[in-house]
Amino acid sequence: MKKTPIFTGSCTAIITPFRADGSINYEKMGELLDLQIAGGTSAVVVSGTTGENATQPLDEHEELMKFCTAHCAGRMKVVVGVGSNDTMTSIRLARAAEACGADGILMVTPYYNRSNPAGLIQHFSYVADRCSVPMILYNVPSRTTVHLTPEIYKILSEHPNINGVKEASGDFSLVGRTRALCGDALNIWSGNDDNTVPMMALGAKGVISVASNIVPDVVAKLCALCLDGHFEEASALYFRYAELFAKLFVEVNPIPVKTAMNLMGMDVGPLRLPLFEMSKENEAKLVAAMKGVGLLK
């Protein structure tokens, strides 16, 4: 069963800009979405990890997804983060995403209370059974300590409403085995900027990127080169930006990328606690990497 991917190429895991009082800066959010469209980005993930969704009350989460889907309608696809360790919360957010016209939902593995393999399958299937918007699974064991396996992927790939997975494990053997088991029944996207080229060589459809918050045109070009089979040229482009991609994770995401955006004059505001401003030592490393690719003088 071949499934058409929700998007191909670059998808930005977009940050959420806040005002000094902690509220969402919707005017700035609109500007950031327009910047992504102009940069050739295929889709955005709203209220994902990079968007600080763990600090968003449900009503605010739903308000933000409505704003973004309306703002981008017909110009760029919108995928909404609906992941939770409470299945009922994920259903509520998935139905809200469906109602406002989102193109897809992104659902991370359930953290903290976790689950066994059978429970993981039930968790994702339960939500996929109850909404029609296509689902992207999200495997990021470094944050959740939960691991999806090729065998789990094989079962979930048989669900008509599960479109693919954001694979952020960094495990290329897992990606290869998943491709071998699932074929085109499960689309795969890189979940890490530094994994994009090798994962696309294994058949991934693109990347859900943090770096594209600040270099959308670069990430879009990187993906386009891979999709066209120009992996030597794509590798050369990656090597130029490898240090920047690494330093955007010198502290927990999205601390560095929001710091970078503010350093660039994008005025995206503060982080929400428990996230806090990065250390001066790490900021200096980030600044050096940004200067290395001409983002700062």
As annotated, the active-site residues are 138, 166
H-type helices in the chain, by residue range? 26-38, 58-72, 87-99, 117-128, 141-144, 150-157, 172-182, 196-201, 216-227, 231-247, 255-263, 280-292
Alpha carbon distance 73, 33 (integer Å): 11
Query: Which residues have CB under 8 Å from 43's CB, separation 6+?
Result: 6, 7, 11, 12, 76, 77, 78, 79, 103, 104
> How many helices (H) does the chain have, and how many strands (E)?
12, 8
The amino acid occupying position 45 is V
Whether 269 contacts 22, CB under 8 Å:
no
User: H or E stretch including 209?
Assistant: strand 206-209
Cα–Cα distances (Å) from 201 to 48, 176, 234, 296, in that order, read 26, 10, 11, 32
Q: Which two tokens stand for residue 104?
A: 């897809």
The amino acid occupying position 145 is T
User: Phi and psi of 209, rounded to 5°?
Assistant: -110, 145
Burial group, residue 273, by CB count within 10 angstroms (0-12, 13-18, 19+): exposed
Whether 120 contacts 93, CB under 8 Å:
no
> Helix, strand or coil for residue 219?
helix
46 secondary structure, DSSP code: E
